[in-house]
Chain A
Amino acid sequence: MHPKTLYDKLWDDHVVRTDEDGTALLYIDRHLVHEVTSPQAFEGLRLAGRKPRRVDANLATPDHNVPTTNRDQGITDPVSRLQVETLGENCVDFGITEFSMDDIRQGIVHVIGPEQGAVLPGMTVVCGDSHTSTHGALGTLAFGIGTSEVEHVLATQCLIQKKSRSMLIEVDGKAAVGVTAKDIILAIIGEIGTAGGTGYAIEFAGEAIRDLSVEGRMTLCNMAIEAGARAGFVAVDDKTIDYVKGRPFAPGGDQWQQAIEYWKTLHTDEGAVFDKLVRIDAAVLVPQVTWGTSPEMVVGVDTSVPDPDNIDDPVKADGMRRALDYMGLEANTPITEIALDKVFIGSCTNSRIEDLRAAAAVVKGHSIADNIMLALVVPGSGLVKQQAEEEGLDAIFIDAGFEWREPGCSMCLAMNADRLEAGERCASTSNRNFEGRQGQGGRTHLVSPAMAAAAAINGRFVDIREL
């Protein structure tokens, strides 16, 4: 048989029909829904007199707008409240399962999907959110869609798609202690650029990827979109299957055995051909810190802020100058001399239990530096929060001066009250350092959870490998 890539397999198993020009109708197994990108889609269904084709394929939760403090008082911002209430009403009206704000299973949509076993290997998974690529960690084809497509999936359980080109990013060798999934993906983005994956579906492979836990792979795939790729994924292995086993939505009994047999086929065949191949040596990677306003503006913690005067391309040099100006940084400043005002540990990139454990291990027995005005830990879901509290992680953070919050997207995009003020500088475990992302005029440096924790304690960036 013709050798196939994992992408070929996932694609072929979901094609309902294909037109002569390659435009395909792709079947969607799981649709995750949140409050920001769905109201107009539900409204569209109502206006057209349509119903969701398969309510059981949908799972909803509010995450972007929810407050991370004083949940018992509800949402004080009336505009946010209306959006969250609208999600609740739409889910009731159309019969869709929703984990609402007072449900312990509520959380960031990309955390709760895998946590519940609502995302299973081999699925096609979509959500009106670009970080849907996260779910590729389980060997799925998962990608973000706009609101028109949210409506399309609700109405038809399908999407009109053209197959992307395929890219293999092979990360060989062993990553050093202190070099995490976050550092690997930031280094990849630094290498191929924020548009390097545009038009591609990326398979991550190689020893350093196999060595990652499933949660680490989620961090990796989460930021595939920051490299321009709508979808990024990792082949199924024993870790994937162990991760899924026993979760509430996962199959049991005979179906479990049947599912495993299928899932074990979800890898790229020997001899399959990719449109593009990128190789990264994990052994030379160091902890990464972004210095600018795009995730590709990233360097190792042991280096300095780059100098646009050394760049030949005038558009690129101009972009770098604009970024340095926005970030309030001088070229050639050592990264470890950058002092911070706030620290954010959370987001769909890094808010899972392993992330919190990694941060707590650094924090334990220390206090945040005097210049840190606010250090937030926002768990990815109510269940992650509960688990962390059972392990005593909350006490470690609180004793050190961190705030321990309720789950949600929080300061990753600052749609709720958690945000940076103009000019404030933040070490953040989130995924985007765009201008204004964490609050208008706010300055974001993307790092791993351990690096963010170390920055909170030292008040500036430090090389986690030296602790």
Chain B
Amino acid sequence: MEKFTPFSGAVCPLDRANVDTDAIIPKQFLKSIKRSGFGPNLFDEWRYLDHGEPGMDNSKRQLNPDFVLNDARYQGASILLARENFGCGSSREHAPWALADYGFRVIIAPSYADIFYNNCFKNSILPIVLDAEVVDGLFNKAAGDTALHIDVDLDQQQLRVGDEVIGFEVDPFRRHCLLEGLDDIGLTLQHVDAIQAYEERRRTEAPWLFV
């Protein structure tokens, strides 16, 4: 996995609560057996006026001018500003794949659904939790004539918005993995002896689990 390094990015504000993973990447695109190429279909049903199917030439489709991703101000945004319970619904990792493929590296919201939150870290996306009032303030700033830019420093756990510095909390283990770009499977396999010992014990205690 890529190491998560400090960067400065433009903010795209998505002012809806309870954005679900069906909205982030509709089901017809889940038929792919690949991990990449989901970006053009991120938020497909909100982003385009016509119905999208896999294999379509998305550059020829009609964009919905009222959807934020199509707003000229937010082109090239790498930070998604969202409302509470972002990413609720299914466990599809296609949701963070689509966000990452589009170019989002950070999401800022008051809260996330658990599975989505967890999936983000597996894909070098940093989901930041801030108080609803702070998020409100950022929505106000992001609605200006030009895009709001935020500096993101995971190592320092800080966002810089103009002169303002906003701290954020993140689980130390997850932070470490993102910063170092660590592969979870590799980490777990360092404990293969412990797994083996556990299995041997359980074979005696609960043999019906090993048939």
Q: Does B158 contact A (CB under 8 A)?
A: no
Kindly provide the distance from the CB of A53 to the nearest chain B CB, expressed in whole angstroms.
8
Contact A144 B22 (CB under 8 A): no
Question: What residue of chain B has the Cβ atom nearest to residue A436's Cβ?
Answer: B45
Q: Does A312 contact B (CB under 8 A)?
A: no
From the candidates B90, B173, B195, name the one contacting A23 in the complex (CB within 8 A): B173
Q: Does A331 contact B (CB under 8 A)?
A: no
Contact A230 B115 (CB under 8 A): yes
Residue from B92, B93, B199, B208 whose CB has the most chain A CB atoms within 10 Å: B208
Kindly provide the distance from the CB of A15 to the nearest chain B CB, expressed in whole angstroms.
8
**Neighbouring A residues of B23 by C-beta, 8 Å:** 434-436
Residue from B33, B88, B118 whose CB has the most chain A CB atoms within 10 Å: B33
Kindly provide the distance from the CB of A79 to the nearest chain B CB, expressed in whole angstroms.
4
A130 to B51, CA, bound (A): 26
A437 to B173, CA, bound (A): 35
Question: What residue of chain A has the Cβ atom nearest to residue B50's Cβ?
Answer: A440
Q: A258-B208, A319-B17 are in contact. Are A146 and B92 (CB under 8 A)?
A: yes
A37 to B96, CA, bound (A): 13
What 1/0 flags go to A256-282 for Cβ under 8 Å of B? 101100100000000000000000000
**Neighbouring B residues of A349 by C-beta, 8 Å:** none
Give the number of residue pairs across the A-B interface with Cβ within 8 Å.
Answer: 187
**Neighbouring B residues of A251 by C-beta, 8 Å:** 208, 211
What 1/0 flags go to A416-459 for Cβ under 8 Å of B? 00000000000000001011110010000000000000000000
Q: A79-B54, A148-B123, A258-B208 are in contact. Are A156 and B185 (CB under 8 A)?
A: yes
Q: A40-B35, A228-B114, A434-B20 are in contact. Are A25 and B188 (CB under 8 A)?
A: yes
Question: What residue of chain B has the Cβ atom nearest to residue A45's Cβ?
Answer: B185
What 1/0 flags go to A192-229 for Cβ under 8 Å of B? 00110011000000000000000000000000010011
Contact A436 B22 (CB under 8 A): yes
**Neighbouring B residues of A162 by C-beta, 8 Å:** 171
A145 to B90, CA, bound (A): 9
Total interface residues on B, CB under 8 Å, equals 60
What 1/0 flags go to B175-211 for Cβ under 8 Å of A? 0000000001101110110110011001001111111
Contact A156 B119 (CB under 8 A): no
Contact A319 B16 (CB under 8 A): yes
From the candidates B22, B96, B119, B195, name the one contacting A27 in the complex (CB within 8 A): B195
Kindly provide the distance from the CB of A296 to the nearest chain B CB, expressed in whole angstroms.
8
**Neighbouring B residues of A145 by C-beta, 8 Å:** 91, 115, 118
Q: Does B27 contact A (CB under 8 A)?
A: yes
A65 to B188, CA, bound (A): 33
**Neighbouring A residues of B113 by C-beta, 8 Å:** 195, 198, 228
Kindly provide the distance from the CB of A414 to the nearest chain B CB, expressed in whole angstroms.
6
Q: Does B59 contact A (CB under 8 A)?
A: no
From the candidates A16, A82, A195, A436, name the one contacting B198 in the complex (CB within 8 A): A16
Contact B171 A195 (CB under 8 A): no
Q: Does B103 contact A (CB under 8 A)?
A: no
Q: A198-B111, A436-B26 are in contact. Are A21 and B172 (CB under 8 A)?
A: yes
Question: What residue of chain B has the Cβ atom nearest to residue A198's Cβ?
Answer: B114
What 1/0 flags go to B103-119 for Cβ under 8 Å of A? 00000000111110011
Kindly provide the distance from the CB of A259 to the nearest chain B CB, expressed in whole angstroms.
5
Kindly provide the distance from the CB of A113 to the nearest chain B CB, expressed in whole angstroms.
14
Residue from B26, B27, B173, B187 whose CB has the most chain A CB atoms within 10 Å: B27
Contact B31 A130 (CB under 8 A): no
Contact A144 B83 (CB under 8 A): no
Residue from A17, A148, A194, A258 whose CB has the most chain B CB atoms within 10 Å: A148
Contact B17 A262 (CB under 8 A): no
A-B contact pairs, 20 of them (CB 8 A): A16-B198, A25-B194, A36-B30, A36-B31, A36-B92, A43-B33, A77-B31, A82-B33, A144-B90, A146-B93, A146-B118, A146-B119, A152-B188, A229-B114, A259-B206, A262-B206, A315-B17, A319-B17, A434-B89, A436-B26
